[in-house]
A = this chain, B = another copy of it.
Amino acid sequence: MSTIKKPDDPESDPRVKAVFDEIRALRGTDYINNLWVYLAFDPPLLEEIWQGVRDVMAKETLIDFKTKEMIYVAVSIANSCKYCIHSHTAAAKARGMTDEEHAELLRIVTTAGRTNHLLNGLNIPVDDVFDTDT
């Protein structure tokens, strides 16, 4: 079930094929996950989303790959995005996240979720010492 129709032969479009080829090369696998297959229904959107994700998540940057995936999972949990939670938890594991680290990630995320609700409920003034813009 989806709000769009899964394209029958996505790689017949050269822009789609170029993205899929890049995904395969970067990941060292032939498998293209559903996000990219479905997104091929609109090649420019596919390119745009893929390039955005690739540049921060699939390239060497300041933060290591495992940590980046764990941060991605944290946001996806808070936003209740089922597909993203599954795909990026799998990616974090592929990058080395152990079960113990997964449990700790959930401990941080749930503690933050709890105090986020508390502070929104209290609405207390932010301390001046936390203000960077001075």
Contact = CB atoms under 8 A, between A and B. Distances in A.
Contact of A130 (B80, B86, B108): B86
Contact of A80 (B70, B80, B100, B103): B80
Interface residues of A, number: 84
How many copies of the chain does the oligomer comprise?
Answer: 6
Given A33-B127, A41-B99, A104-B56, A4 B116 contact: no
Nearest to A68: B108
15 contacts: A1-B133, A3-B123, A5-B133, A52-B111, A52-B114, A53-B115, A56-B108, A61-B104, A62-B101, A67-B67, A71-B112, A74-B74, A77-B121, A89-B132, A106-B118
